[in-house]
Amino acid sequence: MANILQIKAQLSSRPFRPFWPETTGGSRIRVGRPEWFYEAPYTNGEFVVFGEGVMHVANYRDLLDTMIVEQPPPPGE
């Protein structure tokens, strides 16, 4: 199961950097902006990630502990 605290920490980090939680099926869900992540109250771990023309519905239990965080570009680029 993905580290829920790690995801919440990444959502609140400033400056925000996009990240990709990885699913047990091998795909990755890009969270490009913190407001694109929605966790409905009173659910059993379901959440929704909106994006540019795409929407993912997932559950925390379907995520691996692997999370890739986008690194900022090197200075001068």
How does pLDDT run across 9-29, given as a tens digit for each residue? 999 999 999 999 998 888 899
Please say if the pLDDT value at position 3 is more than 80: no
Question: 40-68 burial, b if ≥16 CB within 10 A, otherwise e?
Answer: eeeeeeebebeeeeeebebebebbeeebe
In 1-77, where does DSSP find H-type helix? Answer: 4-12
pLDDT at 77: 62
Across the range 70-75, mean pLDDT stands at 82
Domain segments of the chain: what residues?
A: 4-69
CATH number of this structure's domain 4-69: 2.30.30
Whole-angstrom distance, CA of residue 10 vs CA of residue 31: 10
Extract the tokens encoding 41. 């109250």
Query: pLDDT band for position 6 (50/70/90)?
Result: confident
Scanning the structure block, which residue is given the tokens 């009173």?
Answer: 42
